[in-house]
Structure 1
Amino acid sequence: MNPQPLVSVIVPNYNYAESLDLCLRSILDQTYPNVEILVVDDCSTDQSIAVAETLGVRVISTGVNGGCGQARNIGAANTSGELLCYVDSDLVMAPDAVANAVRLLARDSTIGAVCGIEDPEPLLHDTAVARYRGLQYHYWSISSEGDISFLFPAVCVIRRDVFDEIGPFNPALRQTEEVDYGYRLTRRYRMVLTSDVHGRHDHDHELRGLLRKLFHRGRLRIPLYARARRFSKGFETASRAGGSLAAFAVLPALVAPLLFGPWAAVLPAGLLVTSLALDAGMYGFVRRRHGVAFLVFFAGLHFVVNVTITLGVATGALQWLGSRTFRGLYDASFPVDGRQVRGAM
């Protein structure tokens, strides 16, 4: 790799005018000198294009709203950097993020991609839900630092030759394209999550939207895991899966005291304690940063999140059993007869 390779910073965007100015200014302020910037606008209906053009940043349109995967592919096709840096349009990078990613990739040729960690504080919408999401996502990320198996696309840098070899993102996938891409990439290269690359994200700040997203992500992972025959390396540890299952099991266990008497209340209580204990490090992290009062809110919301994720997974399992189309959702991303079959562009 060249000593100072050109880095193509690609910003997929759909209706994020509110944060796009901050995002692009953070790219323009990077300490790394050899950068080109491209905003790929996915047919926004707000002032996103005007925001980018005011800062002198090149913008191209996807033509048809096709999701982040398609926007990332179009960005790669319209840039020339030796490295591709993807940055979500609602994220502000630390000034040395690109420089640190370049350094890590130059140091180890076995690494195909470097992913960054999101700061615990939300960028714009400082609601209680956003604070929950920022703390939860940051802790799960920082505790997964090192080799991972699914892409963290909010800020990541991929070698161009690796991207060309692995192929584009599957544009048919709207919510799990990064997990799919990570599986494909880590068949041949290492992928590293590091706090040396970080930024502040505009986290989900409304409960309904957050739960809907987590439900569908859990549901849509099932055919991928069944196809790959392994779970992701990173977020989805055995203890966290157990914590989600234990939280979900609390609900049916609440009938035990009605059936067997008050002593049976030990069953739901024990399941709840088990769910909390399986992610005790995260709860300690939250208490140290925000105190006991916020921890109580955080734990209650995380219980709801655990139940939602488990419901999504259960729904996905039922769909996988009953729908051939759903079972084949990721077929285009996996090798067939020794060939890499790519999703349609």
Structure 2
Amino acid sequence: MRQCSDHSPLRSGEVLIMRPTVSVIIPVYNSSKTLRACLEAVYAQRHPITEVIVVDDASTDDTRDIAREFPCRLLVADQNMGPAAARNRGIRASTGEMLFFLDSDCAPEPDALDNALAILRDQPDVACVHGIYALQPMFDDGPVEAYRLLHGHYWRLRNVGRVRTTLFAVCVTRRVAFTEVGLFDEKLRASEDVEFGDRLADRYATVLTDTVVCRHDDDSHLGKLLRKQFGRSQLLVPVALAERGPAGIRANGPAGLLTALLVPLSVPVVLLGPVFLPLPAFFFGLFAAADPGLLRFVLRQRGPAFAVFFYGVHLLVQLTIAAGAAVGGLRHLADRDFGPTRMAPVEPRR
């Protein structure tokens, strides 16, 4: 059986450096495909791990059996409450000074925790460090997953530095952040980390770094990807309206979303005559060129043939996000309780 590392001091010359205690918190739901690889990567971290807490959100597969193969603490929910509630339960049960959050479909590189803690040690005003997805997947499940990883890697890499947004797929946070700012909003089943980051920004800084890397098992079926994007994007407008400060990280820029809408809108114009036949292709090219950095990145990584596939899927994703955001905006107008809880702002640290 795998063993947790000890909490022990390091000596550097005459200076005694105490390694912080670290609790790993992994919310899981029907995660039998990926959990073993995730936990193996956790126990391979170079920095000592104090405890690993797996919070099962009422899985119906053999997720819990896999968790029991490891010396972790398993918490089981009676009903599915979502990742915010699962993370909150893990926080309350944990003891570490630092909390290492992982999604169950992420396998961090062995130096991920070490690198995050180095940033927290060197920058005392930073309370949260999160990382990026590797281009290589946890499991290679085909071209749709390759699209997801390329796009996910690119927009995170583009935003490396101090940010206002927190993303908890692979993230190390000081416990004091939750003590002072509060826990995740359990009303939210998506964007709960974005909402938390907006509250955190009133008091502490957040860093997105490319030195904290994980392999990710992303969506590999187009239909499932689009359904997930439609559901998640319904909270974009309510969360954005509740933000107290400047907008945080956005995976997709407004230019891309707007030019994506022009493609289907131009299709009926073709009926007016053959002269308009090139119009949808023209707007598709405009859509691909809306983010030149992304286009160059995709071409450099996978070449022109895959770029055509990439932008075909990307167009469908952008249209789905736009539709979900519109539906979510209308739901918020009809019901102001649809969205984040209106939490009182915290006083900035002095």
Higher helix fraction (1 or 2): 1
Following TM superposition, by how much is the alpha carbon of 1:339 offset from its aligned partner in structure 2, in angstroms? 8.7
Q: 2:315 aligned with 1:300, yes or no?
A: no
Q: Over residues 200-231 of structure 1, what are the superposed CA-to-partner deviations in whole Å (9 max), with x where a residue is unaligned?
A: 01101111111112122222111121222666
Q: Over residues 22-70 of structure 1, what are the superposed CA-to-partner deviations in whole Å (9 max), with x where a residue is unaligned?
A: 1111111110024321111112222222212222222121333211111
Q: Go from structure 1 to structure 2 and tell me whether the alpha carbon gap of 1:334 and 1:124 turns closer, same or farther (over 3 Å shift).
A: farther
Q: Over residues 230-289 of structure 1, what are the superposed CA-to-partner deviations in whole Å (9 max), with x where a residue is unaligned?
A: 66322346xx22111111122112223434x44445654443233211222222222222
8 Å Cα contact 2:198/2:244 also seen in 1: no
8 Å Cα contact 1:129/1:205 also seen in 2: yes
What amino acid maps onto 2:263 in structure 1? V
Of residues 239, 263, 280, the one that matches 1:250 is: 263
TM-score where L is the length of structure 2:
0.88
Percent of aligned pairs with the same residue? 38
Question: 3-state DSSP class of the match of 1:45?
Answer: coil
Of residues 202, 206, 212, the one that matches 1:191 is: 206
In structure 1, the partner of 2:185 is 170
What amino acid maps onto 2:110 in structure 1? P
In structure 2, the partner of 1:315 is 327
In structure 1, the partner of 2:216 is 201
Q: Over residues 280-313 of structure 1, what are the superposed CA-to-partner deviations in whole Å (9 max), with x where a residue is unaligned?
A: 2222222222222211111111111111111112
RMSD over aligned Cα atoms: 2.1
Q: Which runs of 5+ in 2 are unaligned?
A: 1-16
Q: Over residues 170-229 of structure 1, what are the superposed CA-to-partner deviations in whole Å (9 max), with x where a residue is unaligned?
A: 111111211111111112211111111111011011111111121222221111212226
Q: 2:67 aligned with 1:52, yes or no?
A: yes
Q: Give, in whole Å, the separation in 1 of the partners of 2:304 and 2:251.
A: 26
Question: 3-state DSSP class of the match of 1:332?
Answer: coil
Work out the number of aligned pairs and report it.
332
In structure 2, the partner of 1:343 is none
Q: Give, in whole Å, the separation in 1 of the partners of 2:246 and 2:286.
A: 22
8 Å Cα contact 1:149/1:183 also seen in 2: yes
Q: Which runs of 5+ in 1 are unaligned?
A: 341-345
What amino acid maps onto 2:129 in structure 1? V
Of residues 284, 291, 304, the one that matches 1:279 is: 291
8 Å Cα contact 2:198/2:245 also seen in 1: no
In structure 1, the partner of 2:43 is 28
What amino acid maps onto 1:178 in structure 2? D
